[in-house]
Structure formats: C-alpha cells, structure tokens
Amino acid sequence: MSATQEMPYFIKPSINLTTNKKRAAYEQASLGIDANLIKESNLILKMVTINCILKTYLPYYYWVGFYIVNNGRLSVGPYQGTLGCLHIDFSKGVCGRAAREEKTQIVKDVHLLNKDKAHIACDPNSQSEIVVPVFDKDKNLIAVFDVDSTLKNSFDAIDQFFLETIIKKHFTN
C-alpha cells in the first residue's frame, strides 16, 4: 500500500503563508517547542513533539517527520502524514542529498527533479519540500528532518532559518 492522490479524511491540503505570517507562526511554534522540551532528553519524544507543534502552526506542513540514520541508510522515524517510505538510500531523494551534503535542501517544485533518483514521491500530492540535517552534540549526522507541502514554493530562507535554529537547539547543543 502507498499514499494515494486522494487524501485520507484526517489530512488537509497545504495553505501557504505570507512572509510575516510565516515568521509569526514559527515564533509561536518555537515558544511551544521550547516550553515542552526544556528538560527533555529523549530523542523520540523530541521528534514527536517537534512534528506535532510545527504541523499545528504551519498550515502548509502536509507531511512532517524524521528519517533516522541507521545501518548506512535513512529509515523513517516519527512522522505525521500519509504513509512514508520506510528506507531511503543516501544516494537517493532530497533526504539522501541532505544527508550526503549535510546541508539543508529547499525544493520549490519537486517535479523539476529526476523522479526516484533526486526526488522520491512517497505521496503523489507532494509539490515542494525542505529537508534539514540533524546533528548530535558531537556533530555526527543522526537524522534528517523532512517536510512536504502540497503546494509549490512553500519553503524559503525563513523556514530554513527557523528549522535549523530549532533543530540545533534541541538536538545538537
């Protein structure tokens, strides 16, 4: 079974935000994440909380989750959304590129990428994407954080700034 074009009842299509509303939403989400994770050390609890709060505040977050480095590849971790691919090789997809290059990837239109090589479509509704590498305290890559939108051009430098800040604060520092 894989994700279908038809969205299940519990999932809604993305809504893009203006720059000011996006910044304000991230500021509120960051406060909520900090308040809930201030004394938390459990990796999985951090991941599920970050998924939940960001998806609550950012209406263009269609699929949001982590792919965890495991046995030389990426394996799906905590996520919210339709069925995610279980494993991704470092040589494949936007997630694999983020892991290889250890740099955030912003894709304005996933359909401009080579299908199945440069982009893996776990859900046919995905139109744009951001993937942020996650490092531990020793600066080792431990995961990537992946967000999909059903609209083009949902992600930009503001998403990159806030997501890199949140991830560094709660996984690396």
DSSP-derived secondary structure letter, 34: H
CB atoms within 10 A of CB 59: 18
Shortest distance, position 173 Cβ to ligand SME, whole Å? 26
Cβ closest to ligand SME, residue 146 vs residue 159: 146
Amino acid in position 23: R
Is the Cβ of residue 59 or residue 65 nearer to ligand SME in the bound state?
65
23/73 with CB nearer ligand SME:
73
| Number of residues this chain uses to bind ligand SME (CB under 6 A) | 15
Residue 95 engages ligand SME in binding (rule: CB under 6 A): yes
Max CA separation in the chain (angstroms): 42
Cβ atoms 94, 118 nearer than 8 A:
yes
Give SS3 for 95: helix
Q: Mark 2-21 with x for binding to ligand SME (rule: CB under 6 A) and - for no binding.
A: --------------------
**Angle of helix 157-167 versus helix 19-37 axis, rounded to 10:** 10
* Tokens at 24, concatenated: 């304000």
In whole angstroms, the minimum distance from the beta carbon of 76 to ligand SME comes to 7
* Spatial separation of the C-alpha atoms in residues 137 and 171, rounded to whole Å: 7
Q: Which listed range, 7-15, 27-35, 46-54, 117-125, lies at the site for ligand SME (CB under 6 A)?
A: 117-125
Positions 19 through 78 that interact with ligand SME (CB under 6 A): 63
Do the Cβ atoms of 103 and 115 come closer than 8 Å?
A: no
Check binding of 119 to ligand SME (CB under 6 A). yes
**Among 77, 78, 84, 133, contact with ligand SME (rule: CB under 6 A):** 84
- DSSP assignment letter at 114: P
Q: Which residues bind ligand SME (CB under 6 A)?
A: 63, 84-85, 88, 93-96, 119-120, 122, 126, 129, 146, 148
